[in-house]
Amino acid sequence: MNIKSTHLKLKYKNLEKLAKDDLKISHLMKAESDRLENFVLREGPLRADFSKQLVSQKTLKSLKEFAAACNLEEWRAKLFAGEKINDSENRAVLHMALRDIGGSDSVKENVRSMRKRMEKFANNIRAEGKFNSIVHIGIGGSDLGPRLVADAFRATADIKFDLRFAENIDGASINDALDGLNPKKTLIIVVSKSFTTQETHMNAEAAFKWLESELGVNAGKHLVAVTANRQGAIDFKVPEEQIFDFWDWVGGRYSVWSSVGLSLQIAFGPSLFGEFLKGASKMDLHFRDQPLHENLPVMMAIIGIWNRNFLNYSSLAVIPYSRNIRKLPAFLQQLEMESNGKQINREGVYTGITCPIIWGDQGTNGQHAFFQWLHQGTPGAPVDFIAVLKDSSGRPEHHAALLANCFAQSEALMLGKSKEQVLQEIGDGFKSDIIAQQKTFPGNRPSTTITLDNLTPYSLGHLIALYEHKVFVQGVIWNINSFDQWGVELGKVLASNILQEMQTGTEGKHDASTSKLIELFVNSMKNS
């Protein structure tokens, strides 16, 4: 971190010193009799257990003091006051206003008006019976949030439509989404803030041609647009009354709460979506009102800072032990890495180490894939285990086994297994000393376990908002703007130029490798 304040430097150096202490999580568990009291926080249906992190109570106190010294409370106040904390784009950050927290009177009125329009439209579509399928076209934040929520409730909620998603520019994506559907019974929802995003625009054009082939001039009646570019949607033949606004103070990765969630309202009903918003809103209030030392997003954020900046872990594994939220790691990849995957701070100065790599898969699949590396690889990674206590599958035996695996993995990562323990198990024999070394687990590997009482729209809203606010807190501590994404742009510009060259046969100025790749494609098209 690029730290100027002498006061802050002293606190940072103190944390560096604490990181050199040779501590064992298992020893801390025994030595700190009130560890659970200090390392477990609960808010509503969500409980977060940080006790298996490699953090002593002394270190936790220092981390909280360091966060406070980074003016976290002042930045939190600016966020909820609607100040333009996205200073590179001169914008406020108001996604909480979508769940009725903060925002000016005009913002609140716009949100309420749009929500009423969405509810009315969704209820009408549900009541008419004209459609039996919805294809949601978007990418990034316009896809990952709705897809996560749809997966979460597809098995348990009363879904009235075949809801599908098309996101990738690969033609297989739109082909899969449209396969077997009847154009006469299908509603296409195009979600694009700019209405110019290449992947979304190409998929929307393909879907429109598919509708047009069957419906002719009536194809536009089957189109809905969610965008900040109304004129672009009108030019695409979307009826004006079927265009829903997307404001510039909502970043794509924070947009599932907005009209981006229209497909969810139609498929599952406005009441489910309303509960989703309420769950997030309650976490907003917790983050806004609770002091830093009792604040869930703050606790999650500062422990992440400890692991990244002081223990030097380069990644964070997120493992949901719930198939219904298996898309959570992908959603959090964008939320965290697009927000905080930056190296230049708010003053335009190199800031050092920031966001870790976010990755993961559903449990228990990951146990049979990458948990070998988590347990014995170098350097390993902290893990966020996510578990749902109440079974929703109707198979309680499966659910008990699932959670047993989740709880066992966090314990195993912490405890490990010594060479002496292995030798006691295997006894003397062929290469016993070598095999014992190979079967030794170092342990002392940190994890957090987050449990939801059950998986409901409310609890899922709670969980997502927790991670949103964690990202904000870490951005404040790293002194970076978490709400722009300039790194996304360069590749888009180059891709547009290369595509034009490939289509026209013109030659651009590229390095030798890129020029050869373009040549290979052009030749393959000539020979096809």
Closest CA to 115 of 259, 225, 253, 223: 259
* CA 219 to mean position of chain CA atoms: 34
DSSP code string of 98-146: GGTSS--HHHHHHHHHHHHHHHHHHHHHHHH---SEEEEE--GGGTHHH
DSSP code string of 161-195: SEEEEE--SSHHHHHHHHTT--GGGEEEEEE-SSS
**338: annotated active-site residue:** yes
Q: Which of 368, 431, 509, 526 is catalytic?
A: 368
Give all strands (DSSP E) within 207-294, no chain letters. 223-227, 243-245
Which positions ≥6 away from 12 have C-beta within 8 Å?
1, 3, 66
In angstroms, the CA 225 to CA 231 distance is 11
Closest CA to 210 of 179, 237, 232, 172: 179
In angstroms, the CA 110 to CA 50 distance is 39
Q: Are 434 and 423 in contact (CB under 8 A)?
A: no
> Which helix (H) or strand (E) segment is 449 a member of?
strand 447-452
Q: Which of 9, 492, 516, 519 is catalytic?
A: 492
Q: Which of 167, 336, 338, 468 is catalytic?
A: 338
Cis peptide before 364 (omega within 30 of 0): yes
**425: annotated active-site residue:** no
Name the β-bridge partners of 227.
245
Letter string b/e over residues 171-205, b meaning 16 or more CB atoms within 10 A of that residue's CB: eebbeebbeebebeebbbbbbbbebebebbbbbbe
**368: annotated active-site residue:** yes
Show the tokens assigned to 183.
């154009």
In angstroms, the CA 482 to CA 470 distance is 11
Looking at the annotation, which residues are catalytic? 338, 368, 492
